[in-house]
Amino acid sequence: MSTTPSRSLEGDAALVRAIGVFALAAAIINSTVGGGIFRMPGALATQVGAAAPLSLIVGAIAIIPIALCFAAAGSRAHATGGPYTYVSVAFGPFLGFVAGALMWISHVASSAGVAASFAQQVAKLAPSTDAPGPRAALIIGTYGLLFLLNAFGVKLGARAVATLASVKLAPLALLVLIGIPFVDWSAVSFNPADVPSIAALGGSLVLVMFAYSGLETALVPSGEFDDPSKTVPRATVVAILLVVALYLGLQIVGQGVLGAALATSPVPLADTAGKIFSAGRTLLLATACVSMAGFLLGNLLGSSRLLFALGRDGYLPSIYGRVSASHRVPLLGLLTHAGIACFLAVRGSFDGLAAVSGGAICVVYAVVALAAWQLQRRGIVERGTPFRMPGGALMPLIGAGIMIAILFTLKPDEWRAIAISLGALIAIYVVLHLMRRGQAPATP
């Protein structure tokens, strides 16, 4: 029997390059503006009070160099895998595997936590789903639908992501535009002297970086981008600027409308909208549900391709590196990611994993920044004209330095969780490496 058909369904050559600038920008926005945006205004107000907008500005200063590094690396290394591919090409398979596996584990936890929060938001609109049985059925049904949307081709998944991004962004942008005239500016401060302490600012930045994270997920399916050397830089920069503007606008409106009550509100954006107009609370709760569903869809689209990349390169069974014959999507990666995330969502909640996930993402960002510099220094180009970072090594060093500084604000138990995860990942890498060596044919 000929092996040609099965081989044609393996590797990046089997993928369809159908994701353009608009779809990728929408995917980055969708992956970033997830469940966190509906919690963050209250959490930031709790930590730094009226000066909370400063945390978002400092976070923007931190994330923009990282976005430029992602744009540069993504325009030079086009294979599916995102940070895993960039780091592997720049520094070799060991660091690439650690970056990719750590990112995937972080995203599984994020997906599960957002799904648990999604169930809580739905329960506020439909209290009958708050019981354990209906809650589990809701989560399982949600992941089943997300799997189907992704299983019928990358075009359908990308269009669904773009649609959900538009649907959820419209009410949030409308809240900013309508809410600005109602802002009491005495409740909003941009004065650094109003920050309670450096420790408070550092703790808020971990939350801000978690909230801004998401571009690494959207950039994983690089093998399905149309002209990556142009698509990645344009989509990345545009998306990050829009996300920062949206977050800052929502923080200002929330503080200016609710005042001190913002810090104690469990649903700060919904309460802000409810104070401006009567139907606003229900509208924002519904928007939260749509936003979280969109995040879950984009997370599944990107993270399943990371499993595909690990299978393609031999770090997982080769079946993970294959795509379906009919729609050319990595079905096993979709099923694995959705299944594990669904299990964790039914059993747990997101709160305990947020700081650890944010810290892990900062580690990945720091390594990607250095990888971007290495790729540019070595002049690695697959095709097209790559995006060249201004300032040479300065931009990556700034980005990596800021990420490392944020990491030092983590608590000891959060450090332990990351260290244990990294230790487990290194053990997995060693086992798989030894298995591959044992299967290699002897040299005659």
pLDDT tens digit string along 369-385?
999 889 888 887 766 66
Residue 112's nearest CA partner among 354, 356, 350 is 350
Confidence bin at 18 (pLDDT 50/70/90): very low
- Going from N- to C-terminal start, the domains of the chain cover 15-110+154-275+353-439
Task: Examine the pLDDT at 221 and tell me if it is beyond 90.
Answer: no
Task: Check residue 443 and report its DSSP letter.
Answer: P
DSSP per-residue letters across 166-219: HHHHHHHHHHHHHHGGG--GGG----GGGS--HHHHHHHHHHHHHHH--HHHHT
The number of CA neighbours under 13 Å toward the Cβ of 90 is 27
What is the pLDDT, as a whole number, of residue 81? 63
DSSP per-residue letters across 94-107: HHHHHHHHHHHHHH
Query: CA 361, CA 366: separation in Å to the nearest integer?
Result: 9
What is the pLDDT, as a whole number, of residue 102? 82
DSSP H or E segment with residue 300: helix 280-312
DSSP H or E segment with residue 133: helix 132-151
What is the pLDDT, as a whole number, of residue 16? 46
Mean of pLDDT values over 121-125: 84
Q: What is the pTM of this model?
A: 0.71
CATH class of segment(s) 15-110+154-275+353-439: mainly alpha
DSSP per-residue letters across 59-83: HHHHHHHHHHHHHHHHTT--STTTH
Q: Which residue has the higher pLDDT, 406 or 151?
A: 406
Residue 19 DSSP SS3: strand
Tokens standing for 428? 């997995």
Query: CA 62, CA 440: separation in Å to the nearest integer?
Result: 44
pLDDT cut 90: percent of the chain above it: 10
Tokens standing for 208? 């801000």
Residue 124's nearest CA partner among 247, 350, 346, 283 is 283
pLDDT tens digit string along 287-334?
888 878 877 877 887 778 778 877 777 777 778 878 776 667 788 888
**Residue entry with tokens 């200002």:** 252
Poorest-pLDDT segment among 46-55, 204-213, 365-374 = 204-213
Query: CA 303, CA 244: separation in Å to the nearest integer?
Result: 23
pLDDT tens digit string along 411-420?
787 778 778 8
Q: Which residue has the higher pLDDT, 113 or 442?
A: 113
Query: CA 110, CA 426: separation in Å to the nearest integer?
Result: 22
pLDDT tens digit string along 133-146?
999 999 999 999 88
Query: CA 363, CA 408: separation in Å to the nearest integer?
Result: 11
229 neighbors 222 (Cβ within 8 angstroms):
no
The number of angstroms, rounded, from the C-alpha of 134 to the middle of its chain's C-alpha atoms is 28
